[in-house]
Amino acid sequence: MTSPSASALPQASRRTLVAALVVAFAGACIVLVLLVLPAARSDPYTRSTLELGGSAENGGRLFLLNCAGCHGIAAQGLVGPNLHGVAQRKNDRQLIQQVVSGRTPPMPRFQPEPQAMADLLAYLKSLV
Ligand code: HEC
């Protein structure tokens, strides 16, 4: 019969491993809750934009003025990529972030009023 101390060590280290995994998972959850969700959910600009109904027609006009120089008059792509079907690649929040964040130079950071952003969003989603 093995002594209790011989089998206690592997079990203890297994418990340590499980505890470490639990802590790591909890840490990842906290990071997600603190950083990612508020950025996605409670950003007041994004929220108010998504609450508004957008007009694709107005959005198209805004697009011609602000975006067509890079994305092409028919959003067919020029300096910036072709935007047809972009709503299948990016969700509403991601599309808004793309326009307002300036995170992907050379595309500049735009600061449209929520209604204008809602219109642009409707236009982008109309590009099938
Ligand atoms: C100075 C040029 C420029 C202007 C102006 C510009 N964009 Fe862009 N846009 C880009 C470039 C370049 C990218 C690709 C960025 C990357 O992912 O690296 C891009 C990417 C995008 C994407 C994501 C495309 C994808 O396939 O994921 C969207 C949506 C978009 N632009 C919308 C707009 C809208 C709407 C406007 C006007 C409000 C605008 N862009 C104005 C250059 C521009």
Q: How far is the CA of 25 from the centre of ligand 1 (A)?
A: 35
pLDDT value for 71? 98
Ligand 1 atom having least distance to the Cα of 110: 38
Residue of the CA atom closest to atom 14 of ligand 1: 80
Same domain, 58 and 23: no
* Per-residue tokens: 98: 């793309």
Q: Are residues 13 and 56 in the same domain?
A: no
Read off the pTM. Answer: 0.77
Q: Which of 118, 76, 74 is nearest to 93 (CA)?
A: 118
**Position in ligand 1 atom list of the atom nearest CA 82:** 26
Q: Model confidence over 60-83: pLDDT tens digits?
A: 999 999 999 999 999 999 999 999
- How far apart, in whole angstroms, are the C-alpha atoms of residue 50 and residue 104? 22
Distance, in Å, from the CA atom of 117 to the CA atom of 63, rounded to the nearest integer, reads 10
Number of helices (H), then strands (E), belonging to the chain: the values are: 8, 0
How many domains does the structure of the chain reveal?
2
Instruction: Tell me which residue has its CA closest to atom 29 in ligand 1.
Output: 95
Do residues 29 and 54 both lie within one domain?
A: no
